[in-house]
Amino acid sequence: MTGFKLDARARLSIELALTAASGDSVFIRQQEKDAKALGMTGAEIDMARSGSSFDFQLSRAIALALTINDERRARATRAGLGAQVCADIETMATSYMDRSLLKSA
């Protein structure tokens, strides 16, 4: 299995999953515009917002971002995501969680 790259499309897919419940219609429209610019289909956007992907490796990346723990990290690694990619996903996820906590305070 080839290595997974945390490119703009993967990052946006993870962002879509992490912010799916934001309720910010302006932000949601901007994400959709960005996704379309990257060539994502409506179905891919919907899958990401539901916490998954049609791509196996990306699905593991999203799962790790949504629930950071040893089991999810091990599954991501077995799926071909390197240790640095997993660390980058966890940093990204933590950043979004921190932002959502700031908004709810």
* pLDDT value of position 95: 92
The pLDDT tens digits for 27-78 are 999 999 999 999 999 999 999 999 999 999 999 999 999 999 999 999 999 9
- Which pTM value belongs to this model? 0.89
C-alpha span between 64 and 61 (Å, rounded): 5
**Rounded-to-10 torsion of CA 47, 30, 20, 90:** 90
Instruction: Confirm if 12 and 89 have CB atoms less than 8 A apart.
Output: no
